[in-house]
Chains A and B, each alone.
Chain A
Amino acid sequence: MTARPDPVAIGRVVATELKPSTPHQFHFWTANETTIGIGAIVKVGGGGTGDEGRVVYGVVTDGFAYSDLATPLHDVIGAEGDPARAAESPTVRQEIRYWTAAVLRQIPEEPLQPVPLGQVFVASDTDVAQALRMDAYLHSATPTAIPIGLYTSGGLESPVYLDADFLLGPEAAHLNISGVSGLATKTSAVEFLLASIFRHFPAHKGKVAAVCFNVKGPDLCFLDQPGELSDEDRRRYELLDVPAAPFERVHYFAPLKADGVNLNTLRTHPDLVDDVTPLTWGLQEVVDFAEVLLNRDDIDAKADAFIDYLRDRVLGRSFEDGFGNSHQVGTFADLDRFFRLVFDGLEMSGRSDTWRTHHIATMRKVRNRLSNISTRCKGLVTDDGPSSDLPWGSFEDRAVYVIDVANVDPLGQDLVFARAVSKLREHLERRDLGVDAVVVFVDELNKYAPGDGPETYVKKMLLDISERGRYLGLVLFSAEQFRSQVHRRVVGNAGTQVFGRMDMDELATPGYQVLSPATKIKLATLPVGELMVRHPHFTQPIFVRFPKPPVLRGRDGMGRFPATVDLPFEDAVARQLVHLDRRIRPNQVKDLIADRTEEDVRRALAAVRQKRPEDVLAYFRKMLGGRVASDAPRERQAVPPLNPISDEPY
């Protein structure tokens, strides 16, 4: 056994009356040539070099270089006004490196005292774990450590772990990531972290899944495809014990386009499109979230009361409208018929102002808004026919569910988000989702939960997840460009906060006042693949490096799997049926749907998607119904008048 070499001191703590050591901060100097920089973790004392064995861990937050130059004027005089001559000076002016460090941890923790004068060492792997208090959850009986990246400073590559209890609940939860757009850092970081969570989620915490909303471009469209990784990335994956492979279980959901048969997603390459499940909802699915679709002016007590009335008394049950009409409202088409008959009834009866205590103006407004849903969100919301939804109740462990709403109308995006999250919450409350925890990833939080602006339904939902989700296992991973402009309670409730490269204007906002100027500069110039992390166990922000995610990036994916142009109606229907049953030949489908209305075909297709029968083609044919050939109108035989009394022809 070889003895470990004694660590070599790289600096020494200094304290002056002007800049004393405190329990939270200290200063030290190093040689001019040193491996440490902003964000480096250092250890003071230990091995008898400190104050009675006290060991202090700190992270470098600022650095200074001094020379003995009294004023800049002296340098000018020395160089006789010629900068070139200054460089020719035979003797180099004395210069020192002087650093400020924020205390991460003191051992012993009590009594908390100012940092003693002592030697400064570069932190080792063990020191990093101690400094960040990771030892408590890394080496416990039930470890809850989830790697987020590597601390790389001073030639060290030490894994940094988050505590699952504080990342995914119940102690704290949620993660918020900020950074300028265009560098793919935010999405990459979340992709890597999801892979890390899937690998390291503690067994005693059960099963975990992720629901990701793809809100722009092809960002999350290729999570199941391998990306290119360098040897350096693979080595980092090995160090972090995270598989350098794409996600094994990814399920894609995307609404249909307005034609009702082509998918509204960029993942339409023939090799991949079969994995995308259409996401279509009918009246039953949408009406509970009618508030999402009504703007602020619409939401009043009267409209609200009428929607409740519809929900409780009309939808999905037999209903008599009081004018001799019975209704069974299950689709938007049924709803439209219901409104039409009620309005007709009111008009005929002369009671044109109220119906069942609801004013006709309120009813007209609600009808107008609800009817518009299927128009504005055509493809997502169907007028009639069955819906196609996420597999509520049978979520798979370590699976990612991507809901692609990138090309959906903003109203539709709100609707998808509100319903998906509500259903997740509902099932998690009942413990029948199929998994015990769900990570919901939402990008563009500036848009969905802005700090100012109206109180939208989506914002309320995000606030609700942020504040109460951790008890249910509903965890929000959110990303945005400007953290300062996101609702304070949403970001404030995020137990873990991650920062990529930041805009200087953003860093000038009050939320970043706790950071030193040097840390801000580092944040403003952070390279791709490096992050600053704040976590409840870390008393100071820590910089970590993470490997490139093992999945195909959206941009690269579009190069390798370009989206196809929309197929003609018949081809799109055939493709969907062939996807369900490989035995079907496209021509069979085309023959079946020839001369049939698109509405009928869409309805039959939706029924097939929902039923997933053994014999797809037979079921499709059945749903389509028999073809009724239109007969040419027969010529009527004229009946002569019985008793003509005039010249009129009837």
Chain B
Amino acid sequence: MVEISTEQGTQPGRLLELARRAVDSARQALERDLAERALARLADAEWLVVDGLLSVSGKLAGHPRALGVIKSHGAQFFSGADLERALTVPADTRTSVFRARGGHARNEVYSWYLRLWPWEGNDLLYGLLRIEARADAATIAGASAVSGWLLGERAPIATPDARWDRLLYPIHDVETYLKARAPRDFALSRASRLPRLPGTGT
């Protein structure tokens, strides 16, 4: 349950948007909290792969075996020739590690781009991931190995999700689980919005 302020207006459409943002924010906080608790239980040989930014949490950003896998590329870290090089990196190849600044980042992390599938014939972002890891020299040294592990996760393909070219199957698996566990009225119904008849279950 989240609380929203009605001071910004009572127009239903506006309220719905406020509610969505509030729920989104609460979800992110829960996810962050969950990730930090998972880190505390992480064994020596285990890694935590986070769907999204690592830099939103100081604990995550500073952990040596935490990775953030970003599928959407709203934040832009380069321009000009560097940007072109980053967005046209071939399949099975990564860029060099760079310091990620800007965007939603609150903590400093190192990052690099990794192409899972050939983009030729598709758009530039096809199969392109950005990886975040601790801002440390060890990250630079281990970037190739980590990239190899992630490339291995291309199979099984995360279909039928439309983002399969960038969606790692284990993350797709978690999403499927969460969707199955979500309350029935959590997702917007595409079914009939006719009023329900009492006692009929319809």
Contacts and interface: CB of A to CB of B under 8 A. Distances in A.
B176 interface: yes
Contacts of A69: 156, 159
A116 to B, nearest CB: 13
Contact of A77 (B153, B157, B169, B176): B157
A70 B160 contact: yes
Contacts of B154: 78
B155 interface: yes
Contact of A79 (B149, B155, B160, B169): B155
B155 A86 contact: yes
B169 to A, nearest CB: 5
A140 to B, nearest CB: 42
B33 interface: no
B187 to A, nearest CB: 17
A74 B173 contact: no
B170 interface: yes
Nearest to A80: B155
Interface residues of B, number: 14
B152 interface: yes
B160 A90 contact: no
A410 B153 CA distance: 72
Contacts of B173: 91, 94
Nearest to A71: B159
Residues of A contacting B: mostly: loop
Which of A74, A88, A90, A94 neighbours the largest number of chain B CB atoms within 10 Å of its CB? Answer: A90
A93 B160 contact: no
B147 to A, nearest CB: 14
A68 B176 contact: yes
Interface in B137-165: 149, 152-157, 159-160, 164
A32 interface: no
Contacts of B159: 68-71, 74
Contacts of B152: 88-90
A75 B156 contact: yes
Contacts of B170: 91
A89 B154 CA distance: 8
Contacts of B157: 74-75, 77-78
Contacts of A612: none
A88 B153 CA distance: 10
A313 interface: no
A74 B164 CA distance: 10
Which of B155, B159, B176 neighbours the largest number of chain A CB atoms within 10 Å of its CB? Answer: B155
A85 interface: yes
B201 to A, nearest CB: 12
B41 to A, nearest CB: 20
Contacts of B164: 74
A94 B169 CA distance: 10
Nearest to A93: B156
Nearest to A89: B155
Interface in A55-96: 68-71, 74-75, 77-80, 85-86, 88-91, 93-94
B144 to A, nearest CB: 17
Nearest to B149: A90
Interface in B51-70: none
Contacts of A89: 152, 155-156, 169
A68 B160 contact: yes
A126 B47 CA distance: 50
Nearest to B164: A74
Interface in B157-202: 157, 159-160, 164, 169-170, 173, 176
Given A68-B176, A91-B173, A94-B176, A78 B160 contact: no
A91 B169 contact: yes
A68 B164 CA distance: 13
Contacts of A68: 159-160, 176
A68 B159 CA distance: 7
A91 B160 contact: no
Contacts of B155: 75, 78-80, 85-86, 89
Interface string A89-124: 111011000000000000000000000000000000
B88 to A, nearest CB: 21
Contacts of A90: 149, 152-153
A12 to B, nearest CB: 13
A117 to B, nearest CB: 12
Nearest to B170: A91
Nearest to B152: A90
B172 to A, nearest CB: 8
Contacts of A78: 154-157
Nearest to B150: A90
A71 B160 CA distance: 9
Interface string A362-376: 000000000000000
Contacts of A74: 156-157, 159, 164
Which of B153, B157, B160, B169 neighbours the largest number of chain A CB atoms within 10 Å of its CB? Answer: B157
Query: Which 3 A/B pairs are nearest by Cβ-Cβ distance?
Result: A78-B155, A70-B160, A78-B157
17 contacts: A68-B159, A68-B160, A69-B159, A70-B160, A74-B156, A78-B154, A78-B157, A80-B155, A86-B155, A88-B152, A89-B152, A89-B155, A90-B153, A91-B169, A91-B170, A93-B169, A94-B173
Interface of A: 68-71, 74-75, 77-80, 85-86, 88-91, 93-94
Given A70-B160, A91-B169, A93-B169, 5 more contacts: A78-B157, A88-B152, A89-B155, A91-B153, A94-B173
